[in-house]
Structure 1
Amino acid sequence: MSGLRVGRIALCSSVILTGLLLLGGGSYMQAKAYFAQYLIQQAWRQTLEDKQPHKPWSWADTYPVAKLTLMTEDDLGNEDRTFYVLSGASGRNLAFGPTMVQGRGLQTEGGNRIIAGHNDTHFSVLNGIKAGRVLKFQDADKHTSLYRVSSTQIVHESDTRALMPSYYDQLTLITCYPFNALQTGSPYRLIVRALPV
């Protein structure tokens, strides 16, 4: 066997091995993300049973405080996407799901409920959302409320009016804008406001 042929075989083997390692790493991350969602769902079920906060895993610094469902556009009886809203709006918690920005713990009733999420994962469904779309919000008391999107607005991150408390019941969803940006860290935010049906 010539040295050139051995070199080609070694190069092909290393390319295949590198590809398998990258594929395995990506598969591991996907499996970890799905398993985390399963654990968060189980923690939410426990919370609905005893109305106590339950961490999805022992070292978590968060727990689910609500369930948010985006209904399909054409049929209010059909659910499009469901999210478990987590306590504490930190970057670490946002990696696992939308987070409650205001209102700590399981007491989320009334006022301006502000929920933030990443635009490239959980809140990617907000891309192109229009007024009239219905959201379903469930709290730890098993109380379910319907909200209809009343407006969407793109603002600079320095515009904090969406974070102001409110005397009337509303949901405010916040994510970075634009969607599908090539770089992270955009200074713009999409604000989706929804009022009770």
Structure 2
Amino acid sequence: GRGRGPNTKGLLIGAIAVVAAVVIGISVAMLGGDDDKDKKDDAAQPTQSQSQQSSAPSPSNSNSAAAEDDLPTIDAKALALAGGAATASDIKGAQADGGVYVTGFNQVGSSVSWSVSDIPKSGKYTVYVGYSVPGKDQNATLTINGTAAKAPVDLKNWSGGPEGDYEKGWTKTYNYIQLNKGSNTIKVSCEQGNQCDALIDQMWLVKGWVGS
């Protein structure tokens, strides 16, 4: 008979705990008026932030990519230029803010550099370059954090524009890269052996190696 004593005590404690939980549950439910209001506010917030996002000016061709991954995009006027590279806006069709693009890229030593911070984690990314060529295929050299990539930046005449017509030559290309978490430098340059007759209007990043 003695062994049963503690057991009933245990059951009793269990029952009290259940009753207490129920009582607490009821009192929380009675206070629920306020809780619901908070929940409604929470529910309203995401749609607010979405509408702010969509009204922010952002380039049309990278809109979905930028929104999807929240990775940085850069327009021509924010790139660091070296060599003969300079900004201009007289040829129409650039997607970048204000129709500004980089010109003067067609000489050895010209480059555009993008210092990207806020990379969420180290790994595979795809870098896109928006550009125009005058109806013929061109190429450039890609350097990531000081190391030149083996694959060139293929600045092909994907848009099929006629020779000499930059306005009809706007298109985009991409390269697979590895980035570090945090800050990185992405450079596109005209080196010996490159064909660099191109205008550059934007660069942007997508997570992973697209299409691979």
TM value normalised by structure 1: 0.35
Question: Looking at both structures, which has the greater relative contact order when contacts are Cα pairs under 8 Å and sequence separation is at least 6?
Answer: 2
